[in-house]
Chain A
Amino acid sequence: MRPLLEISGLNVRFSTPEGEVAAVRDVSLQLQAGECLGVVGESGSGKSQVFLAALGLLARNGSVDGTARFDDFALIGGKRADLNRIRGARIGMIFQDPMTSLAPHLTIGEQLSEVLQFHRGLDRRSASDRAREQLERVHIGDAATRLGQYPHELSGGMRQRVMIAMALLCEPQLVIADEPTTALDVTVQAEILALFRELRSTTRLALAVISHDAGVIAELCDRVAVMYAGRVVEEAAVDTIFTTPRHPYTQGLLAAVPRIDGTLDGPMQTVPGQPPAALEDIPGCSFAARCPRVGDRCRVERPELRANGNPMHIYACHHPVVEWRK
């Protein structure tokens, strides 16, 4: 089946006073209708920039090459007018901090109605009715009152629900959620994750979840891509990633998640060191400097992203993890 979203050979660069910075290097990702893809990686891994580039939302000093197709539309290199019609209508977006993504001087009702007036051509009255229905759909109580309130009058969890309601207003086929729960308390996070699960079970929504937290990914996603230093280093079904991670970086990321039931013996497993600076161009594997399994070959030859046995499990490593004890 042809994927709903297909990103191929994507490269993103930023020109800075210090020089050219490569943020995304040769990334390809696919997302089927109704599927949930998790993209996990540390700050600076390029996981957000992949999607910002695909949606034409890069910062001014950014440039992109490669292709991104959504349904029948070329997202990169296509017409600006097409892109504006797709974003917000067929592709919804949710960002980490709902306080900065909501306009502080407009009421919740005004912000939601605006989307419907622009994309659906509704009049104010029916846009407002529709907005109230959406708030109820994401379990915001007393929706009629909330429509008249400003973002600062709502709690963080409530604001994130408003963001989700806004992303879903035009019944999109795809929602891209960039760290949707990172700024929230764990209890609020659990509520938002439950809401996403509910929406996925009642619609054919495709979801791309970007997070640094493998715990969040495990709760929501069908498939996971692990990014490091601008590249995808491993990709597989969620169960595969969590039971048999092959890339040492994936293993490190999973081991670092604090668990309520984990062992208390010895120090926590970490990924020691720091990711390479984006200005550096590393000849071999970009994880070599931090890798516990590094060999001579890793420093000179970049490992290809490929399958070994299971065709649905790809990873880029010369010395993959064979035994993995949780």
Chain B
Amino acid sequence: MSATLLQVEGLGVHFAVRGRRLQALEDVSFTLEERGALGVAGESGSGKSTLARAILRLVPRVEGTVRWEGADIYRLAAVELRRRRRHVQIVFQDPLASLDPRQTIGAIVAEPLEVIEPGLARAERAERVRRTLERVGLGADLANRYPHEFSGGQCQRVAIARAIVGSPRLLVCDEPLSSLDVSVQAQIVNLLDDLRRELGIALVFISHNLAVVRRTVQRVLVLYLGRTVELADRDALYATPRHPYTRALLDAVPVPDPARARRGGPTAATDLSSAFASRAGCVFARRCPFAVDRCRQVVPALESAGPGHLVACHRWRELP
């Protein structure tokens, strides 16, 4: 039994947008064990990036709690928070935008060390940077180059190197693949898998594409307009998805096989979702082909649909 690394309970985040309240996240709960991997799936506006930021205390305040190894990070003193930050790192979607264009790759990867281990001797620091660059598949001889000299995939490797140089226990990856070519995505997936297996770094892997997270994660959280609609172990979620939204996400993945590709078929009417819509009832009801009156009136509770399998749908038992 491994220890709990990340515990999120009743997490809510809202923003005020032109005088209106935008509920970006509402009552989200999950735990992540050491060395574990959680996938977070949902469309734009589902709250998945807000979740990433909330986990790192990059939003000013939240409802509920986020605990790293038991410590409630929104109640930690600044000094203590800073001391613990080295254990939780993030990789963003657009690698070129998240790297300083005026710093060399070596300087970018070395920078966290200056904060985390200020006492480190210069030679030792250079050695750590060299080892980390090699670990992510970049030659150490590239340390003197600048980000614009690299492809998107290489820049993402640099961003990963910067995130792992301080030996974190948790890496939050917010759509780390969506700005990359498909052929390069596979390389990064394999790299993240290796880091978890070999260095024991736990992952929160956020993506709008369920096919992308499938290989890497053990559990999957599906968000829609800020609410948990389904949370299940990987195999259960892909084999027996219970929520109509999870099914829509799975159906939307293109099939790289012309004999089986959809030629027609219903569409998911994505434009019906609005972050400002009424939150009475199920937030997915407006798009759901199975919605009945109850769905529009009563917020569905998370129910158990099997071991470790939670679904928020009034009608999951009746669905075809």
Binding site for B on A (CB under 8 A): 42-44, 141, 155-158, 185-191, 193-195, 197-198, 212-216, 218-219, 221, 238-239, 242-243, 252-260, 262, 264, 267-272, 274, 326
B183 with A252: CB separation less than 8 A: yes
B289 an interface residue at 8 Å Cβ cutoff?
no
Known contacts: A186-B249, A188-B43, A258-B215. The answer to whether A214 contacts B268 by CB under 8 A is no
B residues 223-280 with Cβ under 8 Å of A? Answer: 238, 248-259, 261-265, 267-271
Could you show 20 A-B contacts with beta carbons less than 8 Å apart? Answer: A42-B181, A43-B152, A155-B271, A185-B252, A187-B43, A187-B268, A187-B270, A188-B270, A193-B254, A212-B183, A242-B257, A243-B259, A256-B183, A256-B185, A257-B254, A258-B182, A258-B209, A259-B211, A268-B190, A270-B190
A273 to chain B, nearest CB (A): 9
List the 7 closest A-B pairs by CB distance, nearest first.
A215-B254, A190-B252, A258-B211, A256-B186, A257-B256, A268-B186, A186-B252
B6 to chain A, nearest CB (A): 24
Known contacts: A214-B182, A242-B256. The answer to whether A264 contacts B249 by CB under 8 A is no
B153 to chain A, nearest CB (A): 8
Chain A residues, Cβ within 8 Å of B184 = 42
A157 with B270: CB separation less than 8 A: yes
B215 with A185: CB separation less than 8 A: no
> How many residues from B make CB contacts under 8 Å with A?
46
B154 an interface residue at 8 Å Cβ cutoff?
yes
A254 to B250, CA, bound (A): 19
B212 an interface residue at 8 Å Cβ cutoff?
yes
Most buried by B among A44, A255, A256: A256
Partner of B208, one of A185, A221, A252: A185
A132 to chain B, nearest CB (A): 17
A260 with B253: CB separation less than 8 A: yes
B254 with A194: CB separation less than 8 A: no
Known contacts: A187-B270, A270-B186. The answer to whether A254 contacts B43 by CB under 8 A is no
A190 with B182: CB separation less than 8 A: no
B51 an interface residue at 8 Å Cβ cutoff?
no
Partner of A270, one of B43, B187, B252, B254: B187
B133 to chain A, nearest CB (A): 15
A189 to B253, CA, bound (A): 9
B193 an interface residue at 8 Å Cβ cutoff?
yes
Chain B residues, Cβ within 8 Å of A257 = 182, 254, 256
Q: Which chain B residue shows the least CB distance to A256? A: B186
A190 to B252, CA, bound (A): 5
B255 with A274: CB separation less than 8 A: no
Q: Which chain B residue shows the least CB distance to A255? A: B186
Q: Which chain A residue shows the least CB distance to B253? A: A260
Chain B residues, Cβ within 8 Å of A268 = 186, 189-190, 215
Chain A residues, Cβ within 8 Å of B151 = 43-44, 274
A271 with B252: CB separation less than 8 A: no
B50 to chain A, nearest CB (A): 16
Q: Which chain B residue shows the least CB distance to A157? A: B270
Q: Which chain A residue shows the least CB distance to B153? A: A274
A287 to chain B, nearest CB (A): 12
Partner of A214, one of B153, B238, B251, B256: B256
A258 to B256, CA, bound (A): 9
B297 an interface residue at 8 Å Cβ cutoff?
no
B286 an interface residue at 8 Å Cβ cutoff?
no
B43 with A259: CB separation less than 8 A: no
Known contacts: A213-B254, A242-B258. The answer to whether A42 contacts B183 by CB under 8 A is yes
B257 with A218: CB separation less than 8 A: yes
A262 to B251, CA, bound (A): 15
A157 with B271: CB separation less than 8 A: yes
B151 to chain A, nearest CB (A): 6
Chain B residues, Cβ within 8 Å of A155 = 44, 270-271
B159 an interface residue at 8 Å Cβ cutoff?
no
Known contacts: A252-B183, A260-B253. The answer to whether A218 contacts B258 by CB under 8 A is yes
Could you mark each residue 200-219 of chain B with 1 if its beta carbon is under 8 Å from any beta carbon of chain A, else 0? 00000000111110110000
B160 to chain A, nearest CB (A): 16
Partner of B258, one of A239, A258, A259: A239
Most buried by A among B44, B183, B238, B265: B183
Extra A-B contacts (5), CB below 8 Å, given A187-B208, A191-B268: A188-B270, A212-B183, A215-B254, A260-B253, A274-B151
A271 to B185, CA, bound (A): 10
Partner of A194, one of B154, B212, B264: B264
Known contacts: A218-B261, A242-B257. The answer to whether A212 contacts B182 by CB under 8 A is yes
Most buried by A among B151, B209, B257: B257
A219 with B268: CB separation less than 8 A: no
Partner of B254, one of A189, A212, A238, A239: A189
B252 with A259: CB separation less than 8 A: no
Q: Which chain A residue shows the least CB distance to B43? A: A185
Q: Which chain A residue shows the least CB distance to B210? A: A260
B187 with A187: CB separation less than 8 A: no
A197 with B258: CB separation less than 8 A: no
Partner of A190, one of B187, B190, B251: B251
Chain B residues, Cβ within 8 Å of A193 = 254
Known contacts: A187-B248, A219-B255, A267-B190. The answer to whether A213 contacts B182 by CB under 8 A is yes
Chain A residues, Cβ within 8 Å of B209 = 186, 258
A187 to B238, CA, bound (A): 16
Partner of A215, one of B186, B238, B255: B255
Most buried by B among A185, A188, A191, A262: A185
B276 to chain A, nearest CB (A): 13
B256 with A264: CB separation less than 8 A: no
Chain B residues, Cβ within 8 Å of A157 = 270-271
A233 to chain B, nearest CB (A): 14
